[in-house]
Chain A
Amino acid sequence: MIQYAAILLFVLGLYGIFISTNTIKMLVSLNILEIGLNIFIISIGFNYQGIAPILSSVSDTGLIYVDPLPQALVLTAIVIGVGTTALGLAFAKSIYQKYQSFDLNDMEESL
């Protein structure tokens, strides 16, 4: 169920990027897309009987764990996400300082 919600979040983010002309709105949509994609990648390795991949001792046998590899990939992807968002916001701020608006249509008129 949560896998379908993640795919629909991804599609909603894509829709927001295409439909909006405001740069801040586009960055919000990019963040929504990223959250959906992260949840989908984590859900690939999920198991109903599994537990979190942290061992209590080495001698435990017969325990089922969820897949730790997608979690390691998503952990770095989130930190890269804040870097790209900060860079995009810096661009949006410099666009505002030049054209006095966040909207791309206003920017086109003043050219």
Chain B
Amino acid sequence: MKKLFGLILFMGLGVLIILALNNTISFPKFGSVDLSDRVADAYLDNDNVSEVGSANIVTAIVVGYRGFDTLGEVTVLFISALGVAFLFSFKKEKRLDLKFKPNFMLKHGSKLLFGIMLVVSLYIITHGHLTPGGGFPGGAIIASGVLLLYLADDKFRSNIKGFKVLEGVAGSLFVIIGLLGLILATSFLENFIASGTVGQLLSAGIIPIIYVLIGLKVGSEIASVVDNFLTEEESA
């Protein structure tokens, strides 16, 4: 009874929001957006696109125009990974066993599949400025590959210290590239390499370099979170 009343109340709230959307003049109608009076019009302008050099406009916004926001976002992810590691810090830890015996095919086939996933993730990361994708999904695919290795082998534990070092190096290089922009050009994270022709693999200046660093950082962070979830305290 209480649940039904709550559902009716919240559905009423939803209907209220929908009616409020239909009545205001300032809110655009669905499906008929005019870009000429929005900020995005400048991002899609031909001169600006050839100056930045990235064919994928979303990548140009995430890494180019709003690179400082992305630095803060990666920091938030780092802090949450740190919190997970802090909550799961035991004195004597061991691997969570999954209670099934992996056979020969599973053990060796998973390693083959891990190689294929690594190649796909590298393709997605390095072509982030040309095709859909980029550092965030590519890093998540690396973490999924590590997860597959954990699931296939009962005794497997990856080298978690290596991930920590990789993450620290990638984060520091991100900040150093930003500071180089401050020294060689005028502002933080400004593009200081010539941004070739739009559509080439080696174009868009520092955008592919930063996206590779973001991919490595996101992949190592999520992989260390997965490792933390698969450890437990050893009951002596």
Contacts and interface: CB of A to CB of B under 8 A. Distances in A.
B31 A47 contact: yes
A65 B44 contact: yes
B6 A75 contact: no
Contacts, number: 135
A87 B43 CA distance: 35
Contact of B32 (A43, A47, A58, A79): A47
Contact of B30 (A3, A14, A66, A93): A3
Interface size of B as a range: 35 or more
Nearest to A79: B136
Contacts of B76: 80, 83
A88 to B, nearest CB: 10
B212 to A, nearest CB: 16
Interface stretch (B33-41, B102-110, B181-189): B33-41
A86 B58 CA distance: 26
A101 interface: no
A53 B80 contact: no
Given A11-B10, A58-B49, A69-B39, A48 B31 contact: yes
A67 B160 CA distance: 40
Contacts of A90: 83-84, 87-88, 228-229
A73 to B, nearest CB: 9
A84 interface: yes
B214 to A, nearest CB: 10
A68 B43 contact: yes
B25 interface: no
B172 interface: no
A72 B84 contact: no
Contact of A83 (B21, B58, B62, B80): B80
Interface in A57-82: 57-59, 61, 64-69, 71-72, 75-76, 78-80, 82
Nearest to B130: A54
Given A46-B31, A48-B32, A82-B222, A75 B58 contact: yes
A100 to B, nearest CB: 15
A15 B32 contact: no
A53 B33 contact: no
Contacts of B80: 83-84, 86-87
B32 A53 contact: no
Contacts of A94: 87
B46 A58 contact: yes
Interface in B49-89: 49-50, 55-58, 61-62, 66, 69-70, 73, 76-77, 80-81, 83-84, 87-88
Interface of A: 3-4, 7-8, 10-12, 14-15, 18-19, 43-48, 50, 52-59, 61, 64-69, 71-72, 75-76, 78-80, 82-84, 86-87, 89-91, 93-94
21 contacts: A4-B18, A7-B18, A12-B10, A43-B30, A44-B28, A45-B40, A47-B33, A48-B31, A55-B49, A65-B44, A67-B35, A68-B43, A68-B57, A69-B39, A69-B40, A72-B61, A75-B136, A76-B69, A90-B83, A90-B87, A91-B87
